[in-house]
A and B are shown apart, each in its own frame.
Chain A
Amino acid sequence: DMQMTQSPSILTASVGDRVTITCRASQTISNYLAWYQQKPGKVPKLLIYKASSLESGVPSRFSGSGSGTEFTLTINSLQPDDFATYYCHQYNSYSTWTFGQGTKVEI
C-alpha cells in the first residue's frame, strides 16, 4: 500500500519565517501531489497541485517542489493567517489515494 510520510508533525515558527514541510511517498507518484491547508472546523483548502502549480487565488509566498517520491511545501515570510495544519495528498487517479499525517504550524 502507498504510504505518505510527512514531516515534521509540528512546526513552531514566527511571523516572517520561511518554513518547509516535507512529504515522502513510498512509491513514485510522478507529480500527482497536492498540498492543502486546513483550519479548525473548516474544509481543506487547496494550495498546490501537480507538485508545484499554485492554485488560483493562493498567495505567491506558497510554493511546492519535487517529483517522484520527495516533495516539499515552502512558505516564505509566514503570515498570521498561515498558522494552520497542512496536508500532502497523492492523487494518482489510476489507483488509491493517500494523505500525509499533517503538519501543524504553530506560533
Chain B
Amino acid sequence: QVQLQESGPGLVKPSETLSLTCAVSGYSISNGDYWDWIRQPPGKGLEWIATISRGGILHYNPSLKRRVTISLDTSKNQFSLKLNSVTAADTAVYFCARHVFTEPVDYWGQGTLVTVSS
C-alpha cells in the first residue's frame, strides 16, 4: 500500500520560501510514476502546482512556474516542493500525490496546512 506523508513548517513569513517534503512508503519512487503537488486554500478549490517524474519530466502550473521548484530524492524515497516569495494568497492545505502515466491521482497524502503570516 502506497502511503504519502507531507512535512514542513506550518507557518511561513511573507516573502520567504515555503518548503515541504513528501515521504513515500510502501513503494519506491525509483520505480517511476509521477509525483504531484496540489494545494487548496481554505474554503476554496483544488489547484495543481507541479508534477515530476523519475525520468526528469517536469510540469508546472503556468501561474506558479516562476516561483516553484520541485525535486526527487530517490535515496530518501521522497520528493520536495519549494515555493518562494510567498504571500497570504499561498496559504493553503498542500497535498502531495502520485499518479501513473495517463491516469489521475491514485494516492494522496493527508495534506498539511501552511499559513503565510508575519
Q: Decide if the interface of chain A is mainly helix, strand, loop or mixed.
A: loop
Interface size on B, residues (CB 8 A): 24
Q: Which residues of A contact B51 (CB under 8 A)?
A: 97
* Contact (Cβ within 8 A) A87 B95: no
Our pick among A36, A91, A102 for the contact of B103 (Cβ within 8 Å) is A91
Given A87-B45, A91-B104, A99-B47, output 4 extra A-B contacts at Cβ < 8 Å: A34-B104, A44-B108, A49-B104, A93-B99
23 residue pairs of the A-B complex, CB under 8 angstroms, read: A1-B63, A36-B46, A38-B46, A43-B108, A43-B109, A43-B110, A44-B108, A46-B104, A46-B106, A49-B103, A49-B104, A89-B104, A91-B102, A91-B104, A91-B105, A93-B34, A93-B101, A96-B61, A97-B51, A97-B59, A99-B46, A99-B47, A99-B48
- Whether A99 and B45, one on each chain, are in contact in the complex, defined by CB atoms closer than 8 angstroms, is yes
- Please report B residues at the A interface, Cβ cutoff 8 Å: 34, 36, 45-48, 51, 59-63, 95, 99, 101-106, 108-111
